Structure 1
Amino acid sequence: MHRILINKELCMGCKSCVLACMLKHSKAKNMYLLDLESIDAESMGHIELDKDNKPVPILCRHCEEPECVLTCMSGAMTKDRETGVVLYDNQKCGSCYMCVMSCPYGILKVDDRTKQNILKCDLCKDEECPKCVANCPTGAIEL
């Protein structure tokens, strides 16, 4: 089972994870060509400040019993029992946003372009290691 683990004490708020995710899910071939102002350049995770103003990566945890899957009425959110990855199928999505409202971590969000698709981490399913993990310089994010 694959799950993202976060050690917020190691996070320095550099946003390398966010940029790596944006690059992975964009058409840009490298970081220098990534348009940070484009409505299509969206990250599946983000960095927030906690109550002590310390940065904390906010990424999908691919929960053991994901609320997003339990509340999804259309079957767009599923959990692969073999890998543990929680996946989203935009072709099945009814845009009811129940998954967004039910996520206990506040991770899921609606895309800015269509306001119909859910931005959901897929653990970079075609990669050996998720880009957020591979690009975290401090090891705050691990698989």
Structure 2
Amino acid sequence: MKRIYAIEQWCIDCKRCEVACKTFHSHSKDTVKAFTVEYPEPQNRVRVEGGLQLSVAVNCRHCADPKCVEGCISGAMTKNPVTGVVTSNPEKCVGCRTCVGMCPFGCVRIEDAVEKGVAYKCDLCGDGLGQPGEPSCVAACPNRALIYVESEGC
């Protein structure tokens, strides 16, 4: 399966990956509206951590044996057996945060902008679920610090 990997040395902390991700997951698909008027505010599933000396985009690894799925008590976290994509269903999530604690990479986050905090994570922008092409964060990276390649897993 294809996965996103970050090349730390090439990341310039521009956060274009975050902007592209948030825009993709917005209702309007408009960058300005996604950041100013949409409610609930769309959540970016990738985030840049670090700073100017060293920064890296953190995103889901879609593990071969995902601990977030193993720890999910409601069945909201699932792994597609065909594509290997790990997704979170906000309708099933009970906000217990077990998946957050189980992820060894810190890739699962809780959306606090809504009444009940629900887990969310990288979904490869729908890739592997019928939408072809590379994820929005990879396409937006000016230095190609994010790559989308075939891999066996985390």
Give the TM-score, by structure 2 length.
0.82
The one-letter code of the counterpart of 2:31 is M
The one-letter code of the counterpart of 2:133 is E
1:127 Cα offset (Å): 4.8
Whether the 8 Å contact between 1:2 and 1:85 is mirrored in structure 2 is no
Unaligned runs of 5+ in 1: none
The one-letter code of the counterpart of 1:141 is L
Q: Which residue of 2 aligns with 1:96?
A: 96
Q: Which residue of 1 aligns with 2:121?
A: 120
Structure 2 CA distance for partners of 1:34 and 1:91, relative to 1, 3 Å:
closer
1:53 Cα offset (Å): 3.7
The one-letter code of the counterpart of 1:113 is A
Distance, in Å, in 2 between the alignment partners of 1:36 and 1:127 is 29
- The structure that is helix-richer by fraction is 2
Distance, in Å, in 2 between the alignment partners of 1:36 and 1:138 is 27
Distance, in Å, in 2 between the alignment partners of 1:92 and 1:28 is 24
Aligned with residue 133 of structure 1, among 128, 138, 143: 138
The answer to whether residue 51 in structure 2 is matched with residue 46 in structure 1 is no
Mean CA deviation greater in 112-121 or 1-10? 112-121
Distance, in Å, in 2 between the alignment partners of 1:59 and 1:32 is 23
Q: Which residue of 2 aligns with 1:87?
A: 87
Structure 2 CA distance for partners of 1:40 and 1:34, relative to 1, 3 Å:
closer
Distance, in Å, in 1 between the alignment partners of 2:66 and 2:27 is 30
Deviations 1:17-62 (A, max 9, x none): 0000010111234324332586613211111117x94111111111
Structure 2 CA distance for partners of 1:37 and 1:102, relative to 1, 3 Å:
farther
Q: Which residue of 1 aligns with 2:64?
A: 64
Distance, in Å, in 2 between the alignment partners of 1:130 and 1:7 is 16
Distance, in Å, in 1 between the alignment partners of 2:69 and 2:25 is 22
Deviations 1:39-87 (A, max 9, x none): 613211111117x941111111111211101111221111112211101
Percent sequence identity over aligned pairs? 38
The one-letter code of the counterpart of 1:25 is H
Whether the 8 Å contact between 2:90 and 2:120 is mirrored in structure 1 is no
The one-letter code of the counterpart of 1:93 is C
- The structure that is strand-richer by fraction is 2
